[in-house]
Structure 1
Amino acid sequence: MNTPPRKPKKATISASTSPESPNSDIAPSENPASATIDVNAVEVPELTEDEQRDRLHLERKVERAFFEAGKALAELRDRRLYRSTHSTFEEYCKDRFGYNRSRSYQLIDAAIVVDNLHKCPQIVDILPTAEGQVRPLTKLETEQQQQVWQAAVEEAGGKVPTGKIVKDAVQRIMERTQVPNSYQVGEVCQILAKDNLDLRGKGGYWCIVTHIGEFSCTVKTWNVEMTVGVQHLKSFNYLPDECQQMQQICDRIRKLRENENLEEAARAVLEHLGELKRPYLTAVEEKLLSVIEFEYGIIDEIPRNSQSSNK
C-alpha cells in the first residue's frame, strides 16, 4: 500500500527575545507596548547645485503651464494655423485639446494678464501659478491688474494668492472707482454674468430692482431674488408704464413658481419668459402663460381673448 504524502508543516514565528530577534533590545520585564526602540536615523543628502537648478527649472515649468498654453493658443488663433483641418478656431480647440470656446479664451486672456504683470518690477518674483488666480483680473486695465495683484499678494502674506483673494481685491478696487448707483426701485434691467461665477446660468435674465445699495442692487427675476453689483446690470430704459407691465408679468411667473408640482414643460415656458428682451408678451406667450395659470389653479378660466398689448 502506498503511503499518502505528508502535508507540509506550517512555518511558525517564535516570540523569542534572542539576540537575532528584532525586539532583542527590549528587556524581558518591559511591556512591549511601552518599550523604547532605538531607530537608526537616515541622513537625507542635501540637493546639489545642479539638482537645485533642475528643481527650480521644473517648478517654473509647472507654474507657467497655463501661461504657455494661453500664449500658444493665441498664436494658433492669430496665425490661423488650424485652417488646414478646421474652419473655425473653436472647432479646432474642441477636437484637438478638448477645450470649449470659453476655456480656450480663458487661457488666452490669462496669458495676456501675466504678460501685463511681468511689466511691473515690484511683482516679478511672485507671479500667478494657475489660470483661476488671474481670471478676475481680465476685465481690468493693465495698471489696475498690477495694483490688484500686488494687494492680493500682500493679503496672502507674500505668497501666491488664491483666486478668491484676487476676486475680493478686484471687488474692492471696483467699488472705489465706481460712480454712485443710479438705478431706481422698479427699474427693469438685464443681468450681465461676465466672469461672475455666482451669476452663472442667469446671464441674459431680465430683473426688477427692489432695493438700492451703494454699489449694488437687490433684484428679483422670474425664479430668484439676489443682490447684484451695478457692473453686472444694464438698464432696458423702459418707460414707467412698461416697467409696471413687466412687474405684473414677474408677479404672475413667480406665483406659478411656488407650485411644487410644476411640470418640466411649464417650467421651460417660464424660463423662456424670464429671458425676454421686450416689455410685453406676444399673443402666443400670453396664451401659454394663461393656460399654465389655469392648469395650476391661479385663474378660474382662460380669457377668451388672452393677449398682451403686443406692439
Structure 2
Amino acid sequence: MANENLTTNGSQILPTSERQVRPMTKLEPQEQQKAWLRAVEFAGGKVPTGKIVKDVVQRIMERTQVPNTYQIGEVCQILVKDNPELRGKGGCWGIVSAVNEFSCTLRAWDGEYTVGLQHLKSYNYLPAECQQVREISDRINRVYSSGLEESVQRFLESLGKLNRAYLTALEEKVLSLLESEITHKEAWG
C-alpha cells in the first residue's frame, strides 16, 4: 500500500502532457513548483488538466504584475509571444479603447481585441501622432469592412503593421483610391 501514499502527496504527482507544463514556462523556476502543487490541489489531489494549470499560472502572474499604465487613445504594438489567440496579429498596432486591470481593449485595423499587458508594447507616440494613427485606423477599417478582394485585404493588413504614425505619399494614394472605390460601390450598390 506504499504506492497509495505517493499519489496523495502533490509533489509525487507529475505532469502527463505538454499542455499541463506549457503554461508554467511563463513563470520563474521557483514559482513553477508552487504553481504545479496548487494545480494538483485544485484538481483534488489528481493530475490537473492543462486548463487548471493555466488558470493557476494566470492568477500568479496577475498577483505579480505591475499596474496597468496604458491610457485610452495610446497606440501600442501587439506582441504575440506564446499566445495562440493572437496568431496573425504580431506586429500590428492597436489603439487603446479600454483600460482593464490586466489587459487593454485595442481597436486594430480589422476589429477590436482584448490583449494582456504582457502582449503589448507602447509606441510612446506624441498625442498628435496618436491622433494621426486613429484617423488612419478608421479609414483602413472602413475599407476593410466593405469586403473588397483578398489582395486588397492583404494591403490593408500591411498598413496595420506599420511602425510609424503616417502613410507615405504612395500608401496615401492607394488608400484614397480604395476609399473612392467603396464610396462608388456604395453609391451604385
- Classify the TM-score, shorter chain: 0.7 to 0.9
Q: How much has 1:200 moved relative to structure 2?
A: 1.7
Q: How many residues align?
A: 177
Which residue does the alignment assign to 2:58?
A: 171
RMSD of Structure 2 on Structure 1 (CA): 1.6
CA distance in 2, matches of 1:273, 1:147: 44
Inter-CA distance 159–298: structure 2 relative to 1 (3 Å threshold): farther
Which residue does the alignment assign to 1:227?
A: 114
Select the residue among 121, 133, 139 that pairs with 1:252. 139
The answer to whether the 8 A contact 2:93-2:160 is kept is yes
CA distance in 1, matches of 2:109, 2:18: 34
Q: How much has 1:139 moved relative to structure 2?
A: 2.1
Q: How much has 1:124 moved relative to structure 2?
A: 3.8
Q: How much has 1:263 moved relative to structure 2?
A: 0.6
Instruction: Indicate yes or no: 2:138 matched with 1:243.
Output: no
Q: Structure 2 regions of 5+ residues with no counterpart?
A: 1-8
Q: How much has 1:276 moved relative to structure 2?
A: 0.9
SS in 2 for 1:238: coil
Matches within 5 A, 1:133-172: 133-172=20-59
Which residue does the alignment assign to 1:278?
A: 164
Deviations for 1:169-223, whole angstroms, at most 9, x for unmatched residues? 1111111111111000000001111111221221211000001111111111111
Select the residue among 260, 284, 291 that pairs with 2:177. 291
CA distance in 1, matches of 2:59, 2:107: 25
SS in 2 for 1:241: helix
Instruction: Indicate yes or no: 2:99 matched with 1:212.
Output: yes
- Structure of higher RCO (CA pairs closer than 8 Å, 6+ residues apart): 2
Which residue does the alignment assign to 1:182?
A: 69
Task: Compute the TM-score of the two structures, normalised by the length of structure 2.
Answer: 0.88
Query: After TM superposition, where is structure 1 displaced by more than 2 Å over at least 4 residues in a row?
Result: none
CA distance in 2, matches of 1:229, 1:207: 13
Deviations for 1:246-302, whole angstroms, at most 9, x for unmatched residues? 000110011112213x11111011010111111111122111111111111179xxx
Larger radius of gyration: 1
Deviations for 1:71-113, whole angstroms, at most 9, x for unmatched residues? xxxxxxxxxxxxxxxxxxxxxxxxxxxxxxxxxxxxxxxxxxx
Amino acid at match of 2:99: I
CA distance in 2, matches of 1:298, 1:185: 34
Q: Structure 1 regions of 5+ residues with no counterpart?
A: 1-121, 300-311
Task: Compute the TM-score of the two structures, normalised by the length of structure 1.
Answer: 0.55
- Comparing both structures, which one devotes a greater share of its residues to strand? 2
- Comparing both structures, which one devotes a greater share of its residues to helix? 2
Amino acid at match of 2:67: P
CA distance in 1, matches of 2:103, 2:184: 34
